[in-house]
Amino acid sequence: MFYSKKGLSPLIAAVLLIVVVVGIGAVVTGIVRNYVTENKQTITEKASDMKCGVEVDISVPVVNDSFRICNGTGNIQFTIENSGSASIDDIQVKVFGTAGFDANDTAWTDEMDGAFSAGDTEALSTNYDVVKVGDIQQIRIVPRVKVVGRTEKAYCTDASLSFSSIDNC
């Protein structure tokens, strides 16, 4: 009447099968979540590169064979055009000299003056510390834009302008 059974009962086998499937599912979920998080960061970084490289472009107009940029003592005055297809949110101006450099992250911001849309032209002026800079050797103008998925604005260094010979105002 009593049979000698070898192996597990069907109930224990079902429980073990569920535990194994749940364990494998948890491992796969962890791997996929990690992969998606890493790729989301990469995609966000690439989005700023793409927007800067394709949609953002600035220029300083040339009038009578000279750029519309000049150096007043402690003050850089320039005219800038948004020749790209995207609005620019900020403009940073870096002044490099014999003694060091000075940077102004708020030479122009969208909070101050509204959107700097494609095709717009602005006459700007920004101050720099003459003691920190010394004699000017180079000025770099860098546009910044908002990118979806990032809290900070992206510096579009590929679209930046550099000037090494600047006339006095």
Identify the CATH number of the domain in which residue 102 sits.
Answer: 2.60.40
Asked if the structure places residue 35 within a domain, the reply is no
Question: Is the model more confident about 81 or about 50?
Answer: 81
Asked if the structure places residue 38 within a domain, the reply is no
Beta strand 69-72 pairing with 101-109: unpaired
> Residues 55-69: what's their mean pLDDT?
87
Asked if the structure places residue 68 within a domain, the reply is yes
Tens digit of each residue's pLDDT (9 = 90 or more) over 104-132: 888 878 777 677 888 899 888 999 999 99
pLDDT of residue 21: 94
CB atoms near residue 22 (< 10 Å): 10
Q: Is 88 helix (H, G, I), strand (E, B) or coil?
A: strand
pLDDT of residue 1: 46
Enclosing domain of residue 131: 55-168
- Residue pair 130/103 in contact (Cβ under 8 Å)? The answer is no
pLDDT category at 102 given cuts 50, 70, 90 is very high
The structural domain count of the chain equals 1
Tens digit of each residue's pLDDT (9 = 90 or more) over 9-55: 777 878 888 999 999 999 999 888 887 777 666 655 565 556 677 78
Asked if the structure places residue 40 within a domain, the reply is no
> Residues 97-108: what's their mean pLDDT?
88
Q: Residue 149 corresponds to which tokens in the numbers above?
A: 């998925």
Contacts of 42 (CB under 8 A, 6+ apart): none
| Mean pLDDT value across the chain | 83
pLDDT of residue 139: 94
- Residue pair 145/51 in contact (Cβ under 8 Å)? The answer is yes
pLDDT of residue 99: 92
Residue 8 φ/ψ, nearest 5 degrees:
-95, 155
Strand ranges (E), the chain: 58-59, 62-63, 66-67, 69-72, 75-82, 90-97, 101-109, 121-127, 136-145, 154-155, 161-163, 167-168
Q: What percent of the chain has pLDDT over 70?
A: 85
Asked if the structure places residue 112 within a domain, the reply is yes
pLDDT of residue 155: 86
Residue 144 in this model has a pLDDT that exceeds 50:
yes
Asked if the structure places residue 90 within a domain, the reply is yes
pLDDT of residue 4: 56
Asked if the structure places residue 85 within a domain, the reply is yes
Asked if the structure places residue 111 within a domain, the reply is yes
Question: Is the model more confident about 5 or about 15?
Answer: 15
